[in-house]
């Protein structure tokens, strides 16, 4: 084996799950941010965790509102998912900019991309500083799924997203 760095390891462990974090902005609109790491923590009680850069506007919204929906984007959203991950929602309506159709979720004011395979409705339990990111630990309130949507995964160290085939 050769000594490598962590970004190189990320390429070697592809594909990785991709999610779109959906939060509510102060004006009531939805902000969308692409996240490259999340995991199930517990099934009793239902909990998940995900990490976001400390500078993330979506992270700020989660800390303020304590509500978030994680979605597994459908294959049709590949280009938009990359755009959502490279644009701040602080001054941009990402749904409009990237042509993302939004859908309502029962029991939430936060909308999600219509082309989502899974939507996990959560409340923020706690968050922790982990280097240049925050780790968000969330209680899962509801989960919705659509098997007709093909899930996206990150490839080549998150350089591209596409289905795992």
Which residues, in sequence order, are CB contacts of 84 under 8 Å at separation 6+?
A: 20, 32, 33, 34, 94, 98, 100
Higher pLDDT, 90 or 4: 90
Q: Give pTM, 2 decimals.
A: 0.91
Residue 71: which of 1, 119, 121 has the closest Cα?
A: 119
**pLDDT tens digits, 53-108:** 999 999 999 999 999 999 999 999 999 998 888 888 899 999 999 999 999 999 89
The C-alpha atoms of residue 39 and residue 43 are separated, in whole angstroms, by: 12
Distance separating alpha carbons of residues 50 and 36, to the nearest angstrom: 9
């Amino acid at each position: 084996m050769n000594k490598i760095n962590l970004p190189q390891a990320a390429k070697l462990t592809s594909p990785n799950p991709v999610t779109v974090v959906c939060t509510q902005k102060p004006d009531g609109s939805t902000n969308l941010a692409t996240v490259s790491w999340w995991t199930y923590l517990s099934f009793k009680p239902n909990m998940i965790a995900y990490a976001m850069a400390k500078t993330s506007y979506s992270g700020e919204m989660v800390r303020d509102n304590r509500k978030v929906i994680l979605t597994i984007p459908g294959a049709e959203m590949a280009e938009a998912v990359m755009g959502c991950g490279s644009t701040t929602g602080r001054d941009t309506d990402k749904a409009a900019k990237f042509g993302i159709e939004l859908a309502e979720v029962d029991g939430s004011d936060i909308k999600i991309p219509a082309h989502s395979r899974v939507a996990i409705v959560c409340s923020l339990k706690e968050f922790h500083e982990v280097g240049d990111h925050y780790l968000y630990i969330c209680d899962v309130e509801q989960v919705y799924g659509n098997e007709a949507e093909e899930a996206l995964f990150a490839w080549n160290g998150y350089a591209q997203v596409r289905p795992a085939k």
